[in-house]
Amino acid sequence: MRKPKASSKAQARSEARPGGETHQTTTSADQTLTTNQGVPISDNQNSLKSGARGPTLLEDFVLREKIQHFDHERIPERIVHARGSGAHGYFQPLKNLSKLTKAAFLQDPKKTTKVFVRFSTVAGGAGSVDTPRDVRGFAVKFYTEEGNFDLVGNNIPVFFIQDAIKFPDLIHSVKMEPDRGFPQAASAHDTFWDFVSLMPESMHMLMWAMSDRAIPRSLRHIEGFGVHTFRLVNAQGESTFVKFHWRPSIGAASTLWDEAVKIAGADPDYQRRDLWEAIDNGDYPEWTLAIQAFDQKTADSLDFDILDPTKIIPEEVIPLTPIGRMVLNENPVNFFAETEQVAFHPGHIVPGIDFTPDPLLAGRLHSYLDTQLSRLGGPNFHEIPINRPVCPMRNFQRDGHMRMAVPPGRVAYEPNSLAPDSPRENPTRGFTSFPDPTSGPKTRERPESFADHYSQARQFWRSMTPPEQGHIVNAFTFELSKVVTPAIRKRMLGHLDLIEPELGKRVAAAMGMVGEAEKISPAVEPRDDLDPSPALSIIGKAPRTIKGRTVAALITDGSDAAAVQKLRQALKKEGAQLKLVAPKVGPLKGGLSPDMQLDGAPSVLFDAVVALPSDGGAKELAGVAAAIDWLRDAFGHLKAIGFNEATAPMLSKAGIEADSTMGIVAIDGKGGIEAFIGAAKQHKIWERDKLVRPQR
């Protein structure tokens, strides 16, 4: 690959340390960082590798001690990704992929492979809410005929750090501050922003985390990414680099920040409930698995390093190739036994799939196994039903805590002559690692090709639509305004100026800190010639659909049952469902039975709303604060609003004017329901955004 120009190798390496060259400090002898054995540490930023781009070495005791201690900090809850939701399903390839890989489950388009998927937040504990601003985990376990393959990724294609040795530091910074035990499931506090402001490599990920990607509408509306560059290897031993992408069939969608906050109060289990009910109702979530496949020549031609997990390959450079579809069609029968005990590990691969020497991936290959040993009680976690492969397991591993299998015989070793029918290695069928020629001297350093931390962050900003850019500004403003230490705010404003001067100015103005940004000197100057990537925008590529969405109708005694039924049928035809909300949950005069009570069903829980009260019911609701807030919130959250003629006094009280161009649609007359559905298919009425949320 073409290497970015840095002033020197030492300068590129310096920026890989917290603060880059701008924030270097001198360490006194009595404050020297050490291992738990008291051994002084010379480099806490880079794992020990065989050459700058080579594989991480097992002998790195600093890395192993640091991650091993981190993995065992809490039991039995996961330290990260503690709050999760799972589902069973199947995967089916779209075509034979034997040209790229010998993986058996990717050969026959007629054959399905069982999967279990776990979605999760990252920072919060198991008892936190579903809707914080956070990364979402997207982990898939394929139960293949050659063993389990775990594709363990996120809903964002990049990560905060380039080397796994920094992972404990990252998570310690974003978790509850250790002296006070808060905030929970939130990055808006000093320790997180202190850490990332000293880690320029985090800037690209911060743009994604402050975007709408971090507050998804539901788990059914998230994209998924393998994050790292992997290899596919075919039967001839030929290697192809690959990036994995999951794309939801109903499109990606998000909430607004105010909406996410209110959902957390109204229903902390909102996304968990949504996934469960969708599957329970037969509205099965579906994703397409696509890849970006490329060879070494293409990798060498890129302006960044494919081993750098803080970088993406824009789809406009290497388009996605769909290779399969995944459908989730069965809820767990026991949350603990399945969703909580499922053990994912990026080291669970099958013949035909292999690693690259990505230094973040290398640490994960150690960390995940170590975590499962702690969480699930010992080395036999693979015998728990949710983790057990569907193919035979044959080896000489014996005993250990919670052993379930009872292997007979006197032989528990290989080679042996006493049990000629016992398992033997198989050079033909067995897994073989691709002979990566990259190697070099033992060293702790970042390659210069990892040194550009701002160009793709700038590209991300320029790929967003104006509403999405406004949301990013608001997110940075909210988060940094929660930071108490002024120096951290100023440092981050300096990074934002480097990402994009417009972004830095808007956030500084919103915070009242114009002209206070710290000057940051990057190792590599950000590029200004990267074209925007439309594929990065949720709004720009959103499909016009309400499939899988929920619409609420506010009804009262005397509401027109025929009108409700007509609306229900029209929505059902589009793949959406209708929920009835009323002041009381009991049967109403006129024959309708509500699903939910108004006080427990704020409009934040729905994708669009319709007000269908009777004349008398509307007059009563005009004096009910919850009913007026129901409409006001729907308006403020840019949802399509349908109404009948009787709703006039409620709209007036809420300060909402009927305007079909702004998604406020009368549904009484001819074509009214169709016009409302057309507005709802936009997901949000973005033309209304500037009315309710002035741009910063």
Residues serving a catalytic function are 81, 154
CA 378 remoteness from chain centre: 29
CB 299 within 8 A of CB 306: yes
Which residue reads 């499909």 in tokens?
543
At 81, phi and psi to the nearest 5? 60, 35
Beta bridge partners of 666: 643
Question: Contact, 633 vs 609, CB < 8 A?
Answer: no
Q: Give the separation between CA 499 and CA 4, rounded to whole angstroms.
A: 16
**What is the C-alpha separation between 376 and 412, in angstroms, rounded?**
24
What is the distance between the alpha carbons of residues 583 and 626, in angstroms, rounded to a whole number? 9
DSSP state for residue 275 in the 8-state scheme: H
Phi and psi for 189 in degrees, rounded to 5?
-160, 165
In angstroms, the CA 504 to CA 514 distance is 9
Q: How far apart are CA 308 and CA 230, in angstroms?
A: 12
Query: Shortest CA distance to 641 belongs to which of 551, 533, 510?
Result: 551
CA distances from 310 to 53, 451, 534 (A): 15, 10, 19
CA 212 to chain centre: 11
187: nearest Cα among 506, 521, 517, 488:
488
Dihedral Cα 531, 535, 540, 543, nearest 10 deg: 160
Q: Are 610 and 556 in contact (CB under 8 A)?
A: no
Instruction: Please state, in angstroms and rounded to a whole number, the distance separating the CA atoms of residues 416 and 422.
Output: 9
In Å, what is the CA distance from 104 to each residue of 146, 195, 389, 407, 567?
A: 7, 43, 15, 28, 47
Overall residue count recorded for the chain in this entry: 696
Q: Which residue type occupies 280?
A: D
**Under 8 Å between Cβ of 246 and 225:** yes
Q: If 0-12 CB within 10 Å is exposed, 13-18 middle and 19+ buried, where does residue 562 land?
A: exposed
Record the tokens describing residue 647, joined without a space: 């709703």
Closest by Cα among 328, 326, 371, 323 to 347: 371
- CA–CA distance, 46 with 382 (Å, rounded to integer): 32
- Region for residue 334 given its phi and psi (left: phi exceeds 0; alpha: psi -120 to 50; beta: otherwise): beta
| The two structure tokens encoding residue 444 | 């702790």
Residue 635 tokens, joined = 């308006």
3-state secondary structure of 181: coil
Q: 497: which 2 tokens?
A: 């100026």
The strand pair at 49-50 and 442-443 is best described as antiparallel
- The residue whose two tokens read 């009108």 is 563
R_g of the chain, CA atoms, integer Å: 27
H/E stretch holding 249 reads none
Q: Quick one: tokens of 54?
A: 């080579």
* Residue 128: closest CA among 202, 78, 172, 170: 78
